């Protein structure tokens, strides 16, 4: 969504990550990572990647994007490997019908679900147990065509709320809505097949994150929990977590680290 410009320092108020035990049922861990790492660390992380991941990295046009993709996937593998007690290079991924990655069946996956999002030099990795999870992060960069994007991608109520924001609030309002929508779509694993105009989220800056309405699937409103994130100065993020299992609500235990 955001075009690369000068990168922002990933200086987060979140605590440094220590040992990473696998989250218990109902717990969700979110890690903030900086994708601009020293060459020696990038080399180690690249060594974890599979052949198809290296090929995907090479498809990016610019070297900085190649490096950040490879670093993000390497850090994801190291984190999941620590949680599962498995060597990062031995982890195997498979992909849903619409492209969402997951750990391959077997291999000690233990019901672990994850999602990765990056913007410029920052990435968020969310991990949960036996519940779908989606995450999004965006650098707060000015957008020249924000009104046309709002008209194209926001639901009617969201467009009205956005229009009512003060001019100074509109950039944050746009990214607040965008990250919450992206996190929800990613949690569902729908990719581009779910129009972002089909559902509504709360978008006022500083508002409680929530899924407000989904006309075609009204049961979705009670099925998901959304959380707005402020992982580092100059970035906004959002988390969407499946909020029920077996028809019973699960209390969320959100935990945040920087790594």
Residues paired with 229 in a beta bridge: 237
pLDDT at 238 over 90: yes
Average pLDDT, the chain: 87
Check pLDDT > 50 for residue 128: yes
Output the pTM of the full model: 0.90
Note whether 132 and 79 are within 8 A (CB): no
- Is the pLDDT at 4 greater than 50? The verdict is no
Q: Encode 37-55: b = buried (16+ Cβ within 10 Å), e = exposed.
A: beeeebeebbebbeeebee
Instruction: Specify the pLDDT at position 80.
Output: 93
Q: Is 221 helix (H, G, I), strand (E, B) or coil?
A: helix
pLDDT tens-digit series, residues 239-258:
999 975 444 445 567 788 77
- Mean pLDDT value of segment 18-41: 81
Mean per-residue pLDDT, 56-73: 95
User: What is the 8-class DSSP label of residue 27?
Assistant: E
CB 239 within 8 A of CB 229: yes
Average pLDDT over residues 204-232: 92
**Percent helix, percent strand, percent coil in the chain, to nearest 5:** 35, 25, 40
Mean pLDDT of 72-93: 93
Give the whole-angstrom CA distance, residue 9 versus residue 122. Answer: 9
Total residue count of the chain as it appears in this document: 259
**Which range has the worst mean pLDDT, 4-13, 119-128, 172-181?**
4-13
Across-strand partners of 236? 138
CA 114 to CA 135: how far, in whole Å?
A: 9
Which residue is listed with tokens 């610019």?
Answer: 62
Model confidence at 60, pLDDT cuts 50, 70, 90, reads: very high
Structure tokens belonging to residue 8: 């922002």
**What percentage of residues in the chain have a pLDDT greater than 70?**
87
Look at 3-12, 161-170, 204-213 and tell me which has the smallest mean pLDDT: 3-12
Share of the chain above pLDDT 90, in %: 64
For the CA atoms of 62, 64, 69, 75, the dihedral, rounded to the nearest 10 degrees, stands at: 170
What domains can be seen in the chain, in order of their start residue?
Answer: 27-136 (3.90.470.20), 137-245 (3.90.470.20)
Closest CA to 133 of 204, 60, 229: 229
Cα–Cα distance, 21 to 161 (Å, whole number):
41
Q: Which of the pair, 143 or 137, is modelled with greater confidence?
A: 137
């Amino acid at each position: 969504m955001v075009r690369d410009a000068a990168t922002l320092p990933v200086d987060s108020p979140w605590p440094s990550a220590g040992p990473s035990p696998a989250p218990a049922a109902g717990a969700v861990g979110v890690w903030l990572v900086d994708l601009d790492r020293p060459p020696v660390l990038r080399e180690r992380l690249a060594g974890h990647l599979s052949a198809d991941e290296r090929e995907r990295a090479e498809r990016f046009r610019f070297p900085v994007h190649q490096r950040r993709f490879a670093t993000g996937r390497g850090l994801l593998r190291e984190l999941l490997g620590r949680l599962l007690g498995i060597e990062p290079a031995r982890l195997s991924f498979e992909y849903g019908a619409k492209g969402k990655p997951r750990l391959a069946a077997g291999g000690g996956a233990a019901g672990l679900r994850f999602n990765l999002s990056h913007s410029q030099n920052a990435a968020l990795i969310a991990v949960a147990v036996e519940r779908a999870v989606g995450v999004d992060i965006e650098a707060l960069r000015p957008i020249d065509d924000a009104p046309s994007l709002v008209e194209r991608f926001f639901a009617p109520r969201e467009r009205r709320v956005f229009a009512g924001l003060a001019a100074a609030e509109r950039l944050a309002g746009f990214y607040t809505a965008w990250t919450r929508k992206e996190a929800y779509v990613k949690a569902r694993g729908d990719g581009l097949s779910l129009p972002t105009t089909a559902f509504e989220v709360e978008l006022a800056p500083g508002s409680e994150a929530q899924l407000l309405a989904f006309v075609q699937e009204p049961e979705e409103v009670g099925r998901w929990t959304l959380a707005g994130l402020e992982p580092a100065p100059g970035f906004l993020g959002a988390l969407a977590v499946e909020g029920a299992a077996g028809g019973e609500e699960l209390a969320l235990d959100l935990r945040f680290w920087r790594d």
